[in-house]
Every structure is written in structure tokens, then in C-alpha cells.
Amino acid sequence: MAFIVALAVLLIAIQILSLRWATHEAASAYMDATSAKALGRLRTEITAMTSLVHVLATSSSVADSNERTETGHAIPLFKAALQELPQMDSVYAGYENGAWLQVRRIGDLNDEQRGRLRATPEANIAINLVRPTPSGDLPMRRIFEDQQGNEVGQLDLWKYGYDARMRSWYRETVKADRALVSSPYLAFSIGAPVITVSAPLRGKVSGVLAADLKLDSFSEFVQAQRPGAHGSVLMFDSTGALIAHPNIAQFVVDAMTHPSQPQLPSIKDINSAVVQEALRRSDGRDHYDGSIRDDHGRDFLFRVTKFNLGGQFNANILLLAAQEDFAQNVRNLQYTGLFLAIVASAAFIPVVWIFGGGMSRSLKGITAQAVKLQRLAAPDRSSVTSRIKELYELGSAMELAQRAIWSFAHFVPKEIVQRIVDDSISTELGGVREEITVVFTDVRDFTTIAESADPDTLMHQTSRYFSVLTDAFLAEGGTIDKFIGDAVMVFWNAPNPQPDHVERACRAALAGRAACEALNSQFETEGLKPFFTRFGIHVGEAVVGNLGSTERMNYTALGNTVNLAARLEGLNKQFGTTILVSEGVYSRVQHGFQFRACEAVIAKGMTKETRIFELVGAAA
């Protein structure tokens, strides 16, 4: 079932990704075309204006005299230039003495802009002429002409206040002494956004010749090429000044009517989360493509590209394309694909249910066997069956392994078996030094009991004795190392770490003593001789690991700690006690148990004197 569902989901995912890729490709192609048209148009217009400005700046009619008149040869020259390049708004020349001559096309200005110029209704050309007076005043005469060149109006503005020498296009061009392209700004007289192309005069007088490109009409052209119905195009120079924007007309109105905003906003001032996020992601790179979602949940593709218009003029174009404009049928195709995937999945469900159900039951049974094997639980009586050969063989092998390890755990401590199974204990020979607590037990006068007892009865009685003793040790997490005749060796803190291993050993000894006393009552009732058990407990470092040969090894502990525990068990006979512990055990757990001090002795085989204590019971 999971496979069929995964296959259906994969098919749908492939379809969605393919359609998304197609949508991206379509939007990207549209953005390529938009970018090419917008940049091509701007480059063409700027290049043509630059060439024309260079030619006019060297013309004797413009550059050989700063005496400008209404009948000078420069005016027809400027008119011809406007006819040659319709994209230009005006051509003008400013001179070092303050003179200024401008010829402006006003036939395509809106009513508000014409009103600012106070143009007559039939006026098509405006000629602005500033001639400085001996006193330094800069009065301006504005002459209006119709399309045929006839004068249809005239204004004398004695205090117009326009000094070309103070304008940035003039000062920067004179300073650079070469042709320049300005950042976008609002024209002084008509309040329209323009870019100025300027060049220094190359003649007998000093000055600057310039021409303006109106950006409102250029923005309209750019937006007409936008990628999709909900797409948009923004262009801005390296300083952030806007060259093209869908709302550039409103920006102009705001700049002209709100004193607090006397200029066009920078691209960084645009109140659009999508635009600002696109700029943040591009992070000034020359080219960046990405995707973004607006506040209305619409997904957009965007592209930010840097371009150069010649010289030092660098700019950027930001294109936004709404994915929904290029994927009108995607949703229908997705629904169709989903329906087909569901039908295909449903057709396979009965087969998958029957075939997969049998596999699932067999695998669950094998998994249950594996869990029991890990827990060293008793194996099931019935084995896992399956019609699939591999599953049947796996089930049989798992059952065999479970029975083998379960049986093995009866001969080796379960903790060690578990650590061997999970590979946390090495099966290589050798060991490590660890602190452990060791307990040795022994049955008093066992040899005498064995001489007079029936062997079968003694074997059964000894097994019962070891069972209750083992239960007491295992309840406290002890590792039963070995049975030595009637003796038992147990240790704690290996193979599993046990911070309270000393306390565990003492509790286990007390519990083992109590269990043996209860068992002896049963033995006496049955006419059997009781087993009186003696315990020896010591804590210290020992080498714990695998001892033996490569063919047969035993996980055990070696060292003086083990020897002293065995000697303490034997000293019980000398002191008439049941549980003897070393001074190390006493110092560790004296707060939790009751002890009785015995005299210090030198244990058999030892060279140092050892203080010993009798463990009486748990603290009250």
C-alpha cells in the first residue's frame, strides 16, 4: 500500500514539478523579452541623444558665441534635433555668462505641465531664452510657436530665477569635462521626471549643451512590456533613483504637491514588501533570479540585473512576474493527474492488500521474534510461516537463533549475553580495569551434607538453593560470574555501570540470607538438612573482561579484590558470622546499613592487615 501510494505521489510530484518548471521557463522567457525591449529602448535613446549632443556641442552656431537671440542659428538647429529624435523632451545650452537657450517640445505635455509653462492652446514648441543684463539679472523670454513655426505667444519673466550655472547637469559636466548621463530628477519648469545627457561646448565660449529624456513616457512604454498581467518592471540607477516605475506619475504628483517630498523617491523608499525582499535577496549582485510570495499569497518570480548605458552610467532593472499569469491551466492539469493517480492506485489495492498483508504478517512475526531475542525471552512454540521462500527461511533462522540465545542465557549471565547481542561487549580476549563490588557465598559444612545425602536429592536441593540465591542477586542487578560447587561468585558495576554498586551488593546479601532462611524452613519440613550460607563482600579495582582461549572464554573478574572477597567469606567460620565485609565496603555504605566491627586480621594469602565488619542489616 505504501509503495502504491508513494508511486502515485511521485507521479503527481513529477507532474507538478514539470508544470512548475514550464511555468518558470515561460515567465523567464517573458522576462528576457521584457528586459531586452526595455534596455534596448533605453540604450538606443541614450546612445542617440549622446551622439546628437556631441555633434551640437561642436557646432559653431552654438559653441562660438554666448550672445543668444530669438533669431539665432541655434534655434533652428535645436528644432531639427527634436524632429530627428522624438524621444527627446528638450535641447538646451547654458553658458558661462549665465545665458541659456532651450527649445522644448510641448505638444505631448499634459494639461498640468502646459499650465505650468502657461502655454497657449495651439503652441507646439516653447523657446526659452535667458540673456543676462549688465546688473547680473537673468530675465527669461518664453516664445511659443505652433507646428508650422509661427509665433503664437510670448512671455517675459523678469524674475524667473533660473541660472543654468547652478544646475547639477551644468556643474558636473564642466567639472568632468566630458559627456555625462545624469541620475533621474524632476525638471525645473514642468515637474516631469527626466534624464539629462550633457557635454561641454567645444568652441570659442565655455558652456554645456544638454538634452532631456522624459521618463514618464518611457515608463509607460516599459510597463506595456511587463511580464504578464500582474507583473511589473522597475528601473533605477546606481544611486537608487527611479528611471521607470508603474506609479511614476503618482510619485511626480506627490513630489510636486507635498513640500516634505520635493523629489522622486529612491528604490529603497518604495513601500512594497515584494520589491524590498527582492532587493534584499539580490544583495547588489549583477544578476539574481528568485521567487517570492506577496501579502496576498500570490507567487512571483523576480529578476534583478545590472546594466551599463555607456561611460559611468550604471543602472538596474527589476522584473516581477506573477506565476498565475503563466499557469492558468496548471490547476486543471493537476486535478486530472490526481484523479488518474487515484484510479491507478485503487486498481492495485486488492492485489496489494492480499499480497502485502501476508508479507506484513510474516514480517511482524519475525520482528516479534527479534524483539524477544533482544530481551532474551522464551521463544514461541510455533514458527513463522510464509509462502515466500525468503521470508520462510528468515523466520526459521530467527526461531533457531532465538532458541539458541535463550538457551545460551541459561549458562552465561543474561546481562553479558545482552551486551554481546548488542555488540557492546567485545568477544576478543582481554579486559579493562574497573571498580567492582564482589560477593562470594558458600554453604557451611556442605561436604559433610553431601557425604550422607542421596546424589539426586542433593542435586535437586542444591538447584532450589541456587535458584532463590540467584533471584536475590539478579533483583539487585548482579552479574553471576560462576557456580563453584556450592559457592557462588557475583559482582556488580560490570558489564553495566552501576553508581550504587556497593549498596546493591549489601542489599543482595541481606536478601539472599533472608531467602535462604525461608528455604531452610522448607528443607527442614521436608526432612532435608538446611543450607546455612556465608557471604563475603569487598569493593575495589579488578580486571574485568574475557579470560580463556580463542575457542572457549569466560567473562569474569580477576585481581586481589576478588581474592579478598573470597577470603572474607571464609573468615565467617572463624568469627561465627554470616556476612563479612571489608573496611572499603563499610566506609561506603555505613550510613545505610548496620554493622558490627570485628578485629583486624591478615587474610589467608594476604600480606596487609584488613579491618572487617559484620553486616547485620539495613539501617532503621
Q: Given this structure, which CATH class describes domain 24-326? A: alpha beta
Map residue 401 onto helix, strand or coil: helix
Percent of the chain at pLDDT > 70 equals 81
Q: What is the mean pLDDT of residues 512-533?
A: 93
Q: What is the mean pLDDT of residues 82-105?
A: 90
Confidence (pLDDT) at 235: 81
**Residue 423: pLDDT over 60:** no
Distance CA 45, CA 536 (A): 105
**With bands split at pLDDT 50, 70 and 90, how would you rate the model's confidence at 201?**
very high
Alpha-carbon radius of gyration of the chain: 51
Confidence (pLDDT) at 430: 78
Decide which of 313 and 317 is more confident: 317
Q: What is the 3-state secondary structure (H, E, C) of 544-560?
A: EEEEECCCCEEEEEECH
Q: What is the mean pLDDT of residues 493-517?
A: 94
Q: What does the chain come to in residues?
A: 620
Confidence (pLDDT) at 511: 96
Element (H, E) at 452: helix 446-452
Inter-helix orientation angle 74-84/2-57, to 10°: 160
Q: Which of 145-149, 231-235, 382-386 has the lowest mean pLDDT?
A: 382-386
Q: What is the mean pLDDT of residues 313-320?
A: 80
At 461-482, the pLDDT tens digits run 999 999 999 999 999 999 888 8
At 271-286, the pLDDT tens digits run 788 888 888 888 888 8
Q: What is the mean pLDDT of residues 330-334?
A: 59
**Residue carrying the nine cell digits 536429592:** 457
**Residue 450: pLDDT over 70:** yes
Decide which of 262 and 429 is more confident: 429
Decide which of 13 and 294 is more confident: 294
Confidence (pLDDT) at 612: 93
Closest among 93, 167, 168, 177 to 131, alpha carbons compared = 93
**With bands split at pLDDT 50, 70 and 90, how would you rate the model's confidence at 364?**
confident
Q: DSSP labels for 594-613?
A: EEEE---B--TT-SS-B-EE
Q: What is the mean pLDDT of residues 457-461?
A: 92
**Residue 456: pLDDT over 80:** yes
Q: What is the mean pLDDT of residues 60-73?
A: 87
Reported pTM: 0.50
**With bands split at pLDDT 50, 70 and 90, how would you rate the model's confidence at 158?**
confident
Q: DSSP labels for 331-375?
A: HHHHHHHHHHHHHHHHHHHHHHHHHHHHHHHHHHHHHHHHHHHHH
**Residue 34: pLDDT over 90:** no
Confidence (pLDDT) at 69: 85
Distance CA 228, CA 241 (A): 25
How many CB atoms are closer than 10 A to CB 167?
Answer: 20
Distance CA 147, CA 12 (A): 65
Confidence (pLDDT) at 609: 87
**Residue 299: pLDDT over 90:** no
**Residue 407: pLDDT over 70:** no
Q: Which of 148-152, 217-221, 305-309, 386-390 has the lowest mean pLDDT?
A: 386-390
Please give the biggest Cα pair distance in the chain: 152
**Residue 315's beta-bridge partner residues?**
237, 307
Q: What is the mean pLDDT of residues 69-76?
A: 87
**Residue 263: pLDDT over 80:** no
Confidence (pLDDT) at 219: 79
Confidence (pLDDT) at 588: 93
Confidence (pLDDT) at 371: 64
**Residue 435: pLDDT over 90:** yes
- Domain 424-618 coded CATH 3.30.70.1230: yes
Element (H, E) at 525: helix 501-525
Task: Output the average pLDDT for the chain.
Answer: 83
Q: What is the mean pLDDT of residues 447-470?
A: 90
Decide which of 189 and 426 is more confident: 189
Q: Which of 137-146, 248-257, 413-422 has the lowest mean pLDDT?
A: 413-422
**With bands split at pLDDT 50, 70 and 90, how would you rate the model's confidence at 218?**
confident
Nine cell digits for residue 599: 578485629
Percent of the chain at pLDDT > 90 equals 34
